[in-house]
Amino acid sequence: MNRDVTPTTYIRRLDLSTLRRLADFLDPDDRWRDVVVSIRKPSGEPRYTQLHVRRFASLAEQGKSPTIELLTNWGTANATVGELVDILKSNKLMAPAALLLPGVSPTSASPSPSSSSSLAAAAASSSASSNVTGYLSFSYQELVHITGNFDDRPTSEGGNRLGEGGFGTVYKGFVDHKPVAVKKLSPEEDILVMELRRQFQQEIQTLKTLKHQNLVDMVGFSCDGDYPCLVYVYMANGSVLDRLACMDESPPLSWSRRCLIATGSARGLDYLHTNHHVHRDIKSGNILLDDNFVAKISDFGLTRASATRSSATVLTERIVGTRAYMAPEALRGEITPKSDVFSFGVVLLEILSGLPPVDESRDTPCLMELRYDIDDEDEDLTLADFLDKKMSDIDMAQAERTYSVACNCLNDRKARRPTIKQVLSELEDVSGF
């Protein structure tokens, strides 16, 4: 994008490349409609009627962009970038606003990026600029530099690749000598660029709105290159999935530490549900551990916010998530907090057993189905057999109660599952944390 763009630049002066990138953010889910109804005449009356809106909408059926047509039309009235950015900000469309004006400050107070880390404050003195989201806006070339050109060799082999994240690859980098994790989003076979942009914006908005000690801390992002990128505070102990598998020769997690991780994860999920958000992809790979093994939920690209009460169920045509963790209703396209509870039940089984969610070499490949063997008196598998033998401080009574909580979470009928608040209360009672 032309770096000479300022708040007084006329929209009609924006190049086609910039308009297309704005469309990548605004065409999905018809977010351009939020913009069009906010555009006013000098008299204060709406500039566009419902007839105009229907005409813009019809362009999508022709394979054209309603966003580009809207901005081209509005540009003829000498509308400015500053006016557009104000409208984007008022509708919480932060990523496209930052695309236009990376260096502007928010018009209203917004939560700080992280109360648990000083990294964002330290990074403010770097070449990255603060922007309308309250996060740092990095250029793509800056991220190329700090990740060694996105060195795909694993960190254990001297490279910078940390692993796979939601819809992208995560790399280690340094900002002002402090480690960060950079997730480079990239299209997959069944994920369109437009959908990727929507998830990019969703993650920024979720982490801007929600702050909790058991959610990951975001530092900034980049949206000016070939791939949108998200920058997070580095989690020194990786994911729960990797630590349970003792990857990179890490020592086994003790039972007491597993209890802390389970309880912390439940607190983060309870915070999401209390604030009317459904994560939709809870799994051990999306629960990260900082240098003190504090659990932090990550990957919010699929998160769905609800304007109504947190127990509401929404239907979607697109089935998303990780199948080994998905509740029966999630496979039918239902979006409900109880689906997160089901997924968390699988995580609890992983914490208890140290086993991965799926292993084709097992007689019963799917971990969640092993509970049927444990509960069946005709089967040889017992809970004691199921527990991870690498734990040296196992408390059998606590393990039995945790297993019971997991089974309640995994009830096929969502109405019979506990809420995450009930799960959290039970886990706190079990562990005393």
Co-location of 255 and 399 in the same domain: yes
Instruction: Using the 3D structure, point to which of 198, 233, 268 is the last residue of a domain.
Output: 233
Tell me if 215 is assigned to some domain: yes
Confidence (pLDDT) at 62: 83
Confidence (pLDDT) at 246: 95
What would the pLDDT profile of 178-208 be if each residue is shown by its tens digit? 999 999 988 765 566 677 777 888 888 888 8
Tell me which residues of the chain have a pLDDT lower than 50: 1-2, 104-127, 307-311, 314-319
Question: Which pair of structure tokens corresponds to residue 74?
Answer: 């509005």
Looking up residue 381, the CATH number of its domain turns out to be 1.10.510.10
Co-location of 213 and 279 in the same domain: no
How far is the C-alpha of 266 from the C-alpha of 427, rounded, in Å?
8
Structural domain range at position 345: 240-431
Co-location of 192 and 60 in the same domain: no
- Who contacts 226 (Cβ-Cβ below 8 Å, separation ≥6)? 140
Work out how many domains the chain is built from and give that number. Answer: 3
Q: Could you tell me the CA-to-CA distances from 205 to 135, 199, 389 in Å, in that order?
A: 11, 10, 42
Co-location of 217 and 296 in the same domain: no
What is the residue whose two structure tokens read 């490349």?
A: 17
Co-location of 286 and 422 in the same domain: yes
Looking up residue 201, the CATH number of its domain turns out to be 3.30.200.20
User: What single string gives the DSSP state of each residue in 180-234?
Assistant: EEEEEE---TT--HHHHHHHHHHHHHHHHH---TTBPPEEEEE-SSSS-EEEEE-
Active site residues: 281
Hey, what's the torsion of the CAs at 206, 209, 213, 215, to 10 degrees?
Answer: 0
What is the residue whose two structure tokens read 């404050």?
A: 121
Instruction: Using the 3D structure, point to which of 71, 100, 129 is the last residue of a domain.
Output: 100
Confidence (pLDDT) at 192: 63
Q: If 0-12 CB within 10 Å is exposed, 13-18 middle and 19+ buried, where does residue 257 land?
A: middle
Confidence (pLDDT) at 113: 37
Co-location of 227 and 269 in the same domain: no
How far is the C-alpha of 66 from the C-alpha of 158, rounded, in Å?
47
Q: pTM of whole model > 0.85? A: no
Co-location of 369 and 398 in the same domain: yes
Residues 420 and 270: beta-carbon distance below 8 Å: yes
Confidence (pLDDT) at 306: 56
Q: Could you tell me the CA-to-CA distances from 167 to 112, 150, 195, 335 in Å, in that order?
A: 26, 16, 10, 20
Confidence (pLDDT) at 135: 81
Q: Report strand pairing: 136-137 vs 218-222.
A: parallel
The rounded Cα 190 to chain-centroid distance in angstroms is 19
Confidence (pLDDT) at 432: 79
Co-location of 189 and 209 in the same domain: yes
Co-location of 279 and 380 in the same domain: yes
Instruction: Using the 3D structure, point to which of 46, 68, 100 is the last residue of a domain.
Output: 100
Looking up residue 55, the CATH number of its domain turns out to be 1.10.533.10
How far is the C-alpha of 221 from the C-alpha of 231, rounded, in Å?
5
Co-location of 424 and 288 in the same domain: yes
Co-location of 213 and 314 in the same domain: no
How far is the C-alpha of 277 from the C-alpha of 306, rounded, in Å?
6
What would the pLDDT profile of 64-113 be if each residue is shown by its tens digit? 899 999 999 999 989 999 999 999 988 888 888 888 887 544 443 333 33
Co-location of 218 and 253 in the same domain: no
